[in-house]
Amino acid sequence: MKNLFVLMLFLVVQFSQLNGQSFMEKITPELNGKMLTTEDNSGILCWIFFSDKGPSTEGFFSAPQTVVSEKSLQRRAKVLPAEGLIAYDDLPVYAGYIGQLEAFGVSVKQKSRWFNGLSAVITKGEINSIASLPFVSKLDMVWQLKKDYSAVEDETEAGYTPKLQPEGVYALNYGPSFEQLNQINVPAVHNLGINGEGVYVTVLDAGFSLLSHQVFDSVKVIARWDFVNNNAGVGDSTDMGSGSHGTQTFSTIGGYRQGQLIGPAYGATYILAKTENTDSETPLEEDNWIAAMEWADSIGTDVSSTSLGYIGFDSPYTSYTWMSMDGNTCRITIAADLAAAKGIVVVNSAGNEGFHETHNTLGAPADGDSVITIGGVRPAGDRNSFSSVGNTVDGRVKPDVMARGSSVVVASPSNPTQYSSFASGTSFSCPLAAGVAVLVLQKNPNLTPMQVREALRMTASNFANPNREMGWGIINALNAVNYFPVTSADVSPLSPDGFELSQNYPNPFNPSTVISYQLPVSGFVTLKVFDMLGNEVATLVNQEKSAGGYEMTFDAAGLTSGVYFYRLQAGNYVETKKMLLVK
At 467, phi and psi to the nearest 5?
-145, 175
Burial tier of 503 (Cβ tally within 10 Å: 0-12, 13-18, 19+): middle
Residue 66 is assigned to a structural domain of this protein? no
- Domain with residue 133: its CATH number is 3.30.70.80
At 56, phi and psi to the nearest 5?
-140, 110
Residue 81 is assigned to a structural domain of this protein? no
Q: Is residue 361 domain-shared with residue 417, that is, in the same domain?
A: yes
| 133-166 pLDDT, tens digit each | 999 999 998 876 655 555 566 776 666 777 889 9
Residue 529 is assigned to a structural domain of this protein? yes
| Range of weakest confidence among 38-47, 253-262, 286-295 | 38-47
Q: Is residue 325 domain-shared with residue 464, that is, in the same domain?
A: yes
| Range of weakest confidence among 149-153, 373-377, 470-474 | 149-153
Helices 286-299 and 331-341: crossing angle in degrees, nearest 10, is 10
Residue 111 pairs in a beta bridge with 118
Categorize the per-residue pLDDT at 493 as very low, low, confident or very high, splitting at 50, 70 and 90. very low
| 406-421 pLDDT, tens digit each | 999 999 999 999 999 9
SS3 of residue 64 by DSSP? helix
Q: Is residue 498 domain-shared with residue 374, that is, in the same domain?
A: no
Residue 157 is assigned to a structural domain of this protein? no
| 317-337 pLDDT, tens digit each | 456 677 778 888 888 999 999
pLDDT at res. 443: 93
Burial tier of 137 (Cβ tally within 10 Å: 0-12, 13-18, 19+): middle
Q: Is residue 395 domain-shared with residue 450, that is, in the same domain?
A: yes
531 Cβ contact partners less than 8 Å away, ≥ 6 residues apart: 537, 559, 562, 564, 565
How much of the chain, in percent, has pLDDT values that exceed 70? 87
Cα distances from 60 to residues 53, 73, 465, in angstroms, run 11, 13, 47
Spatial CA neighbour of 581 closest among 505, 478, 511: 511
| 16-30 pLDDT, tens digit each | 444 444 667 899 888
Section 231-238 average pLDDT: 79
Per the structure, the complete domain to which residue 32 belongs is given by 2-53+92-142
Q: Is residue 460 domain-shared with residue 528, that is, in the same domain?
A: no
Q: Is residue 241 domain-shared with residue 131, that is, in the same domain?
A: no
Q: Is residue 280 domain-shared with residue 341, that is, in the same domain?
A: yes
Q: Is residue 114 domain-shared with residue 224, that is, in the same domain?
A: no
Residue 105 is assigned to a structural domain of this protein? yes
- Domain with residue 400: its CATH number is 3.40.50.200
Contact 369, 400 (CB under 8 A): no
Q: Is residue 122 domain-shared with residue 261, that is, in the same domain?
A: no
At 403, phi and psi to the nearest 5?
-150, 175
Instruction: Among 421, 455, 481, give the residue marking a domain's end.
Output: 481
Q: Is residue 438 domain-shared with residue 469, that is, in the same domain?
A: yes
Residue 149 is assigned to a structural domain of this protein? no
| 112-129 pLDDT, tens digit each | 999 999 999 998 888 888
- Domain with residue 516: its CATH number is 2.60.40.1930
Q: How far apart are CA 384 and CA 386, in angstroms?
A: 5
Residue 63 pLDDT > 80: yes
Residue 399 preceded by cis peptide, ω within 30: yes
Q: Is residue 409 domain-shared with residue 353, that is, in the same domain?
A: yes
Count of domains observed in the chain: 3
Q: Is residue 297 domain-shared with residue 384, that is, in the same domain?
A: yes
Residue 290 is assigned to a structural domain of this protein? yes
Q: b/e map of 95-108 (b: 16 or more CB within 10 Å)? A: eebbebbeebebee
